[in-house]
Structure 1
């Protein structure tokens, strides 16, 4: 995968001494920063901060899907560019993102796709500009790097959810409408799908440790998050609810990344844990592979905090839009979490 090759190339987790990682984690910003609420007819900016889109149809779909949601669309100058596997050079991609935050006409910024490369932009972003012009930022997977850095540096609540060129099915569009237009204090409860079965198998949650916890959400893609270890672009994990997802990672790599979170002190600081989907993460052929169940048992159960897995978060067709920095109450027994406070500023 492109993302894995990029992370292996940086060799951040492997080469950075773990001593001092606690001190390298970002301090809490002065307070949460909320983007203005959205309305139909607003202008949305489409940007490509990570990988290039493989074909023109994907770019066209991103525009048409934003228009179908009721928005006018403005595209970044380089959103269709290519530099290797990236959607333009680092300077071009960062410039598009900074320009969208500076543009008074643009009310929200949607990432066309993920892939890899967003972490390369973090030193080039204008965080003071972003703090002065808070806006909705939406995307997932590699966009985790932007969510983590922007929240750590500015306190802005951003949104881990569907990308512009992804599937805007009825579930995802409804999530968007309820969260951004109706400003609902969402309860995130998995969609029940019997699919002809006597007992439903799809979208099941599994309690790792029962209980209720409250805190702000941090997290996103496990691979991308742990690749920021030792940098100033990680959020403060103290008292937070950590949510994670991933795709195409063998269990031994998932184990290595959880080990990084443990050694850097992040796991010992969180108040609750939500694991979404790890798509295509089965052990495969081989002898003696750890399972995801065993990995979560090893790293999460000793924390003795409320925890569950199976939330509709990740590389799946129907997925939650999760506010990074939003204050929630999670119920690990029920397999749900709900917003306690608005995640958008009042009109």
Structure 2
């Protein structure tokens, strides 16, 4: 496949151009011209949404001390996906390994990152390991694989498309992407020193037993979900908590479970009651709630120790 060129933007809203300076740093504060690469590893991504993100960045960072660069493959279409598996994989690897970019931000979720994760991780180099990566929902498949591979700068948190939903949400995400610190942190992390991770329930349930499943021994596992019926949440918790690997976590926190689809007859238990039931049955401590979810209040959860 021919090497993809970076997309050009209208002068009013384009991201800072890529230059030849060293990048990929994971420490320190924001430096002038910090560049974040946006990739789409999953479902289709609308050009109109990218334009909205450009406009938001222009308002919040008019001096371009922080800028975003969309990989052109974000706008490909291949059935459900933002380009076929090879195009999405190549785009992720290209931006992750690019020393002119400082961090990687997932454009959106949907479905598809599990189809490319195993193929891209062996192709990532030392530059890629220095970068920060942020996303949630379907991006969790790649984050899980990266965490298993020893990448140290990963976080569940708002995606690029969330920037047009609420300023505070995206500002919190950008703070972590640029400095590794943010006030938009999941609050329980300030009180619990144990390593933590956060995943969509469907994603982590499907990852168990695969080559992408990381070792979560001793971790606080935070879960969230959207648009699932109560019986499906119950079935996923049965499967997840039945795994020997998951029974080694320090405990489970439950984020928001939103847009629960109707169950006929009514299931008779709330999502929290379901999770508590399976935690009790499996011997996994239920640690309470987590401030994460498929919404504009979704907080940042850095993976691992802090």
TM-score tier after normalising by the smaller chain length: 0.7 to 0.9
Q: For 1:226-305, what aligned pairs fall within 5 Å after superposition?
A: 226-281=205-260, 283-302=262-281, 303=283, 305=285
- In structure 2, which of residues 73, 88, 92 is the aligned counterpart of residue 78 of structure 1? 73
Residues 127 and 150 in structure 1, CA contact (< 8 A), matched pair in contact too: no
Q: Could you tell which deviates more after superposition, 98-107 or 226-235?
A: 226-235
- In structure 2, which of residues 102, 106, 122 is the aligned counterpart of residue 127 of structure 1? 122
Once residues 247 and 151 of structure 1 are traced to their aligned partners in structure 2, the CA distance between those partners, rounded to angstroms, is 24
Residues 65 and 164 in structure 1, CA contact (< 8 A), matched pair in contact too: no
State the partner residue of 1:65. Answer: 56
Residues 45 and 74 in structure 1, CA contact (< 8 A), matched pair in contact too: yes
Residues 163 and 170 in structure 2, CA contact (< 8 A), matched pair in contact too: no
SS in structure 1 opposite 2:149? helix
Gaps of 5+ in 1: 1-33, 191-204, 206-211, 328-340, 342-347
SS in structure 2 opposite 1:166? helix
Q: Could you tell which deviates more after superposition, 157-166 or 34-43?
A: 34-43
Alpha-carbon shift at residue 264 of structure 1 (Å)? 1.5
Q: Which structure is higher in helix share?
A: 2
- In structure 1, which of residues 137, 155, 159 is the aligned counterpart of residue 151 of structure 2? 155
Alpha-carbon shift at residue 280 of structure 1 (Å)? 0.8
Residues 59 and 80 in structure 1, CA contact (< 8 A), matched pair in contact too: no
Alpha-carbon shift at residue 89 of structure 1 (Å)? 0.6
| TM-score for the superposition, normalised by structure 1 | 0.71
Q: Could you tell which deviates more after superposition, 98-107 or 216-225?
A: 216-225
Deviations 1:324-346 (A, max 9, x none): 22x2xxxxxxxxxxxxx3xxxxx
Once residues 175 and 94 of structure 2 are traced to their aligned partners in structure 1, the CA distance between those partners, rounded to angstroms, is 28
Once residues 301 and 125 of structure 2 are traced to their aligned partners in structure 1, the CA distance between those partners, rounded to angstroms, is 20
State the partner residue of 2:162. Answer: 166
Deviations 1:297-346 (A, max 9, x none): 2112353635112x321111122121122x2xxxxxxxxxxxxx3xxxxx
Alpha-carbon shift at residue 284 of structure 1 (Å)? 4.1
Alpha-carbon shift at residue 77 of structure 1 (Å)? 3.2
Q: Could you tell which deviates more after superposition, 163-172 or 66-75?
A: 66-75
* Count of matched residue pairs: 272
SS in structure 2 opposite 1:64? helix
Once residues 161 and 33 of structure 2 are traced to their aligned partners in structure 1, the CA distance between those partners, rounded to angstroms, is 20
SS in structure 1 opposite 2:72? coil
Residues 226 and 258 in structure 2, CA contact (< 8 A), matched pair in contact too: yes
Give the aligned CA root-mean-square deviation in angstroms. Answer: 2.6
Alpha-carbon shift at residue 130 of structure 1 (Å)? 4.3
SS in structure 2 opposite 1:294? helix
Alpha-carbon shift at residue 104 of structure 1 (Å)? 0.7
SS in structure 2 opposite 1:308? strand
Q: Could you tell which deviates more after superposition, 254-263 or 296-305?
A: 296-305
Once residues 178 and 82 of structure 1 are traced to their aligned partners in structure 2, the CA distance between those partners, rounded to angstroms, is 31
Deviations 1:138-184 (A, max 9, x none): 11111010110111112333121111122452321342355345654
Q: Could you tell which deviates more after superposition, 155-164 or 241-250?
A: 155-164
Once residues 133 and 87 of structure 2 are traced to their aligned partners in structure 1, the CA distance between those partners, rounded to angstroms, is 18
State the partner residue of 1:198. Answer: none
- In structure 1, which of residues 297, 307, 311 is the aligned counterpart of residue 287 of structure 2? 307
SS in structure 2 opposite 1:72? strand
Q: Could you tell which deviates more after superposition, 131-140 or 285-294?
A: 285-294
Alpha-carbon shift at residue 120 of structure 1 (Å)? 0.2
Once residues 134 and 261 of structure 2 are traced to their aligned partners in structure 1, the CA distance between those partners, rounded to angstroms, is 29
Deviations 1:69-112 (A, max 9, x none): 54233221311001001000101001000001111101011111
Once residues 151 and 40 of structure 2 are traced to their aligned partners in structure 1, the CA distance between those partners, rounded to angstroms, is 23
